[in-house]
Amino acid sequence: MEITNLLEVLHTLLEESNFHCEWYLDWSERDDYIRINFQWKLPNERNIPVTDGGERTVSDSSIPFETSVIFYNREIMEPSEERYLKTIPVDSYTGIPFGEVVAIIRYLKRITSSMRLRWRNFLEDDQQVGLSLEWNEVEFQEMRSVLIERHRYSETSVFMPFRRF
């Protein structure tokens, strides 16, 4: 029997992908979204002061960094795109193709694996203003196209978990 629950599919794919950071899934049954949070404790041996979004300055030997991706039901909510690395709508009737979820997780693995290098470059370059991960839609579509060309893209739909109201 195939798995059609997006929460279970995401958990399985994330487990199999061996991300180089901590991650966790957060499902809001009430608002019908699934958020993937990625977290790093970035080394700061010289205790360089770092400001997080202009709110507070930290100069510890380990700096926390977090980013998120959200899968959401557009009929129930419309998340603020500025708060997330990527916002991904999931239709409540047609779901989202399994191949799309695979492509998203593979692309996330690619960009999250660059975080430590980005951090090191950030510390070494006094001219850099901020540190962030960026979703490049062109790169993502190229990765998705390769999966389609190699017949590794399944159109089988997966759906948000069943809401019990």
Please give the Cα distance from 77 to 117 (Å, whole number).
35
What domain range includes position 122? 6-158
165 falls within a domain: no
1 falls within a domain: no
CA angle 34, 38, 43 (to 5 degrees): 165
What is the pLDDT, as a whole number, of residue 163?
62
Please give the Cα distance from 157 to 5 (Å, whole number).
9
5 beta partners:
159
Of residues 9 and 48, which shows the higher confidence score?
A: 9
Of residues 12 and 54, which shows the higher confidence score?
A: 12
Residue 164 has pLDDT above 70, yes or no: no
36 beta partners:
25, 69
62 falls within a domain: yes
Q: Give the count of alpha carbons within 13 A of 76, CB side only.
A: 16
164 falls within a domain: no
pTM, entire model: 0.92
Give how many domains the chain has, as a whole number.
1
Please give the Cα distance from 110 to 19 (Å, whole number).
9
Specify whether the CB–CB gap between 108 and 68 falls below 8 A.
Answer: no
What's the CATH code of the domain at 29? 3.40.50.11250
35 falls within a domain: yes
Lowest pLDDT segment from 46-60, 74-88, 113-127, 130-144: 46-60
33 falls within a domain: yes
- For residue range 27-77, list pLDDT tens digits in order: 999 999 999 999 999 999 888 888 876 678 888 899 999 999 999 998 999
